[in-house]
Amino acid sequence: MDNQITSPRKVTVSGALGSGKSAVSKALADRWQCERYYTGRAFRMLAKERGMTVLQINEIAAKDSSIDREVDDIYRHLEDVKADLVVDAHLAWHFMPNSFKVQLQIDPLVAAERVFQDKQRDDRINEQNYENVEEVAQAQLQRRESNRQRWLDLYDVDIDNPDNFDLIIDTSELGIEHIVDIIERQFEAWHSGETITDVAVEQS
């Protein structure tokens, strides 16, 4: 992608469940002492209000684009905010074209293991009564493909197209602080107009 010099600093972070997207974006925002925006909570609240699971609300969103449109304008507005921002959302990069766009990738089974073992995600696991890691992995694959197709239909953007991102990192064997170090280092290079290093599989 073309490097664009932007000020203040704005980073959009996307990635599959279990990739560390939320933890990484929070750690980066803490390091920069800036605001962090995310929409996962909004979808969970909407699902709870309707007595549904997140998966069910996503299925409704596949037919009713107004649910997605409710959050689109938030990202468009953030593009104009004169402050450092870290935005943790699947499509924020699309609505914030001048941001530094980061995608976190992960081995599907590693992601499923993280989710299954994470006690903080008990409500998200138990709502489907998953018995093992393989069931979690299959559910995540179905959810990702459902989202991918919906976003292709609504916005004509493909989350699996690497050209949409400035930096792609495999987080399967990396700690949060290491990932934040990579993002910060590569952001600085990108912000200076330099060609950033390919660290998609950097492990050390």
Tell me the pLDDT band of 150, cut-offs 50, 70 and 90: confident
Domain contains 196: no
- % of residues, the chain, pLDDT over 90: 44
Residue 146 covered by a domain: yes
Cα separation, 77 vs 10, whole angstroms: 13
Domain assignment present for 78: yes
Domain membership flag for residue 75? yes
Q: Which domain holds residue 104?
A: 10-191
Mean of all residue pLDDT scores within the chain: 84
pLDDT of res. 201: 45
> pLDDT tens digits, residue range 86-140?
999 999 999 999 999 999 999 988 888 888 876 444 554 444 667 788 888 888 8
How far apart are the C-alpha atoms of 106 and 36, rounded to whole Å? 22
Percent of the chain predicted with pLDDT > 70: 84
> Does the residue 199 lie in any domain?
no
Residue 59 lies in a domain: yes
Q: What is the reported pLDDT for 138?
A: 86
pLDDT in tens, 157-201: 999 999 999 999 999 999 999 999 999 999 999 988 876 665 554
> Is residue 4 in some structural domain?
no
The Cα–Cα gap between 191 and 3 comes to 7
| Total domains, the chain | 1
Rounded Cα gap, residues 121 and 142, in angstroms: 18
Domain CATH for 178: 3.40.50.300
Q: What's the token pair of residue 46?
A: 């909407």
In a domain, 20, yes or no: yes
pTM: 0.78
